[in-house]
């Protein structure tokens, strides 16, 4: 697409009348909203936020208060599931944030930091590997223990609090698998591509490897294409849609022509955005058709394994497991049964349903970094629900949720282990 066409796409990045009109203000979504449940404030409910979007659509200024109410939204899309009128709240909040991004000038240092993180760091394997090396040294050579022991983190205010939420760096990173093909065990049934993510490549490298092994056990030839890049989910959630479109085009160019039966991700947040490339590029004539095809090929790993029929040759795992629905899997992709079905297929595993399992845990991409106070309150309530279930493992299907729930267990838990559904399957296959 010619660069001159970009401003046209940007002008469309705001809530559309037809999407706003769907809300009939019935309020049936209020109880499914984590921020409304904590604050009880209408303006921090889905209905209140949509009302404010309508005001801006009708010409009201983008005020600081409007930004705050929208910033406090987790974009968990719980309200979308609850809404009987079919309001696509995810589409609205992403468009509203993009409009803010395009119309409001942020302070210089904030712009610089956002430019670096979203424009340079996340799409760059080289920079991510450098960040991973720094984190690894800090976390594994006594520096973290020293900083914590001396109380230095307490003096660092917000930075110190965030340190607790920082993901662990894992070596080797999953970037070392890029360009490789992993053969199917037994007869090849499917040829699939695996997307490694951005931060997941350095903080969930072992989970990505487990994903490859589980797919191999299920007759898949797994390709980890070299040309892939960050999916753009964090960009979309932050309103930075032009950068997200650039990343989407790169992924489409790298993966679409390779004849894959499916393009897979083990991260629900990524999957949701990848499945919506068709919406992201709906006005890009050069990529529209490719984006639609790409979105159709994208599958969450749970959804894919449940659909192809899981290889049952697993060992016994005497675990009591509960499951936390990842918002972008349950509400974004409407995938609820598949992860439960996979867990229940593991011999010896006892499954325990958690009450309100699809209520957000407060992770929400980088929300826990930007809105730490609210995120921790939402997490506290989630841990009360998790603790009410007699389970020694909390399983989930999203890397962000795993980090958040681990922090939750450390602060409020009963020593539960937090694991991805795929890690449990991998363990069961290894035990066979
Ligand atoms: S978003 Fe849906 S459930 Fe919520 S107030 Fe609007 S119509 Fe009602
Ligand atoms: S996306 Fe989540 S936090 Fe935002 S309004 Fe909907 S339910 Fe509330």
CA–CA distances in Å: residue 357 to residues 102, 149, 317: 36, 36, 23
Is residue 403's pLDDT more than 50?
A: yes
Mean pLDDT of 187-192: 97
Q: Given ligand 2 and candidates 19, 71, 89, which is best to mutate, with the most ligand atoms within 8 Å of its CB?
A: 89
CATH fold, domain 3-103, is: Fumarate Reductase Iron-sulfur Protein; Chain B, domain 2 (1.10.1060)
Q: Is 35 in the pocket of ligand 2 (CB under 6 A)?
A: yes
The closest of 149, 175, 431 to 313, measured between CA atoms, is 431
Is residue 2's pLDDT more than 60?
A: no
**Tens digit of each residue's pLDDT (9 = 90 or more) over 301-360:** 999 999 999 999 999 999 999 999 999 999 999 999 999 999 999 999 999 999 999 999
CATH class of the structural domain 174-306: mainly alpha
What local confidence, expressed as pLDDT, does residue 152 receive? 77
Domain ranges of the chain: 3-103, 108-165, 174-306, 313-431
Candidate from 63-72, 154-163, 212-221 with smallest mean pLDDT = 154-163
How far apart CA 23 and CA 86 sit, in angstroms, is 8
How far apart CA 348 and CA 352 sit, in angstroms, is 13
Candidate from 128-142, 173-187, 202-216 with smallest mean pLDDT = 128-142
List, in sequence order, every beta strand (DSSP E) within 207-319.
220-223, 262-265, 298-300
Q: Is 24 in the pocket of ligand 1 (CB under 6 A)?
A: yes
Q: How many CA atoms lie within 13 A of 337 on its CB side?
A: 2
For residue 35, the ligand 2 atom closest to its alpha carbon is: 3
pLDDT tier for residue 400 given thresholds of 50, 70 and 90: very high
Dihedral, CA of residue 315, residue 321, residue 326 and residue 329, to nearest 10: 40
pLDDT tier for residue 9 given thresholds of 50, 70 and 90: low
For residue 30, the ligand 1 atom closest to its alpha carbon is: 4
Q: Given ligand 2 and candidates 28, 32, 33, which is best to mutate, with the most ligand atoms within 8 Å of its CB?
A: 33
Mean pLDDT of 78-82: 97
The DSSP bridge pattern shows strands 181-182 and 220-223 to be: antiparallel
What local confidence, expressed as pLDDT, does residue 1 receive? 43
What local confidence, expressed as pLDDT, does residue 64 receive? 96
Bridge partners of 388, per DSSP, are none
Bridge partners of 194, per DSSP, are 264
What local confidence, expressed as pLDDT, does residue 306 receive? 98
**Tens digit of each residue's pLDDT (9 = 90 or more) over 225-250:** 999 999 999 999 999 999 999 999 99
Kindly report the backbone phi and psi dihedral angles of residue 226, in degrees, each rounded to the nearest multiple of 5, phi listed first.
-65, -35
For residue 90, the ligand 2 atom closest to its alpha carbon is: 1
**Which residue has better confidence, 366 or 424?**
424
Q: Is 21 in the pocket of ligand 1 (CB under 6 A)?
A: no
Is residue 168's pLDDT more than 90?
A: no
Residue 309 CA, ligand 1 centroid: distance in Å? 37
Question: Which residue is closest in CA terms to ligand 2's atom 7?
Answer: 33
Candidate from 155-159, 187-191, 271-275, 286-290 with smallest mean pLDDT = 155-159
Q: Given ligand 1 and candidates 18, 44, 87, which is best to mutate, with the most ligand atoms within 8 Å of its CB?
A: 87
Q: What is the mean pLDDT of the chain?
A: 93
Is residue 369's pLDDT more than 90?
A: no
Q: Which ligand is nearest to the CA of 371?
A: 2
Is residue 193's pLDDT more than 70?
A: yes
**Tens digit of each residue's pLDDT (9 = 90 or more) over 107-125:** 999 899 999 999 999 999 9
For residue 49, the ligand 2 atom closest to its alpha carbon is: 5
Question: Which residue is closest in CA terms to ligand 1's atom 3?
Answer: 83
Dihedral, CA of residue 343, residue 346, residue 351 and residue 357, to nearest 10: -10
Mean pLDDT of 384-401: 97
Give me the percent of the chain exceeding a pLDDT of 90: 85
How far apart CA 258 and CA 225 sit, in angstroms, is 9
CATH fold, domain 313-431, is: Rossmann fold (3.40.50)
How far apart CA 283 and CA 2 sit, in angstroms, is 13
What local confidence, expressed as pLDDT, does residue 3 receive? 42
What local confidence, expressed as pLDDT, does residue 370 receive? 86
What local confidence, expressed as pLDDT, does residue 10 receive? 65
What local confidence, expressed as pLDDT, does residue 8 receive? 54
pTM of the complete model = 0.93
């Amino acid at each position: 697409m010619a660069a001159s066409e970009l401003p046209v796409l940007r002008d469309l990045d705001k809530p559309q009348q037809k999407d706003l009109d769907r809300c009939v203000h019935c309020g049936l979504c209020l109880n499914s909203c984590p921020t409304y449940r904590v604050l009880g404030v209408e303006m921090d409910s889905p209905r209140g936020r949509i009302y404010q979007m309508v005001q801006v659509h009708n010409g009201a200024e983008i005020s600081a208060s409007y930004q705050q109410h929208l910033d406090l939204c987790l974009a968990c899309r719980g309200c979308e599931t609850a809404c009987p009128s079919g309001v696509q709240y995810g589409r609205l909040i992403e468009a509203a944030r993009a409009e803010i991004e395009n119309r409001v000038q942020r302070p210089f240092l904030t712009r610089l930091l956002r430019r670096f993180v979203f424009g340079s760091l996340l799409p760059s394997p080289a920079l991510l590997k450098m960040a991973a090396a720094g984190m690894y040294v800090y976390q594994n050579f006594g520096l973290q223990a020293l900083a914590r022991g001396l109380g230095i983190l307490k003096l660092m205010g917000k930075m110190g609090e965030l340190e607790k939420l920082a993901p662990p760096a894992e070596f080797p990173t999953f970037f070392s698998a890029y360009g490789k093909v992993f053969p199917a065990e037994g007869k090849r049934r499917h040829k699939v591509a695996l997307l490694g993510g951005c931060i997941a490549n350095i903080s969930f490298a072992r989970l990505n490897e487990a994903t490859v092994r589980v797919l191999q056990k299920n007759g898949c030839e797994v390709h980890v294409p070299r040309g892939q890049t960050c999916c753009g989910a964090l960009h979309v959630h932050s309103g930075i849609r032009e950068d997200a479109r650039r990343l989407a085009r790169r992924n489409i160019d790298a993966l679409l022509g390779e004849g894959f039966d499916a393009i897979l991700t083990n991260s629900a947040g990524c999957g949701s955005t990848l499945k919506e490339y068709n919406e992201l590029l709906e006005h890009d004539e050069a990529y529209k058709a490719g984006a639609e095809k790409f979105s159709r090929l994208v599958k969450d790993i749970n959804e894919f394994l449940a659909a192809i029929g899981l290889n049952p040759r697993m060992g016994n795992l005497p675990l009591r497991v509960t499951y936390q629905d990842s918002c972008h899997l349950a509400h974004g992709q409407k995938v609820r049964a598949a992860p439960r079905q996979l867990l229940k297929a593991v011999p010896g595993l006892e499954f325990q349903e958690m009450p309100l399992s699809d209520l957000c845990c407060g992770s929400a991409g980088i929300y826990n970094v930007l809105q730490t106070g609210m995120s921790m309150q939402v997490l506290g309530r989630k841990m009360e629900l998790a603790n009410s279930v007699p389970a020694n493992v909390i399983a989930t299907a999203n890397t962000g949720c795993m980090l958040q729930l681990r922090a939750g267990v450390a602060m409020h838990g009963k020593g539960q282990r937090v694991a991805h559904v795929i890690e449990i399957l991998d363990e069961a296959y290894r035990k066979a």
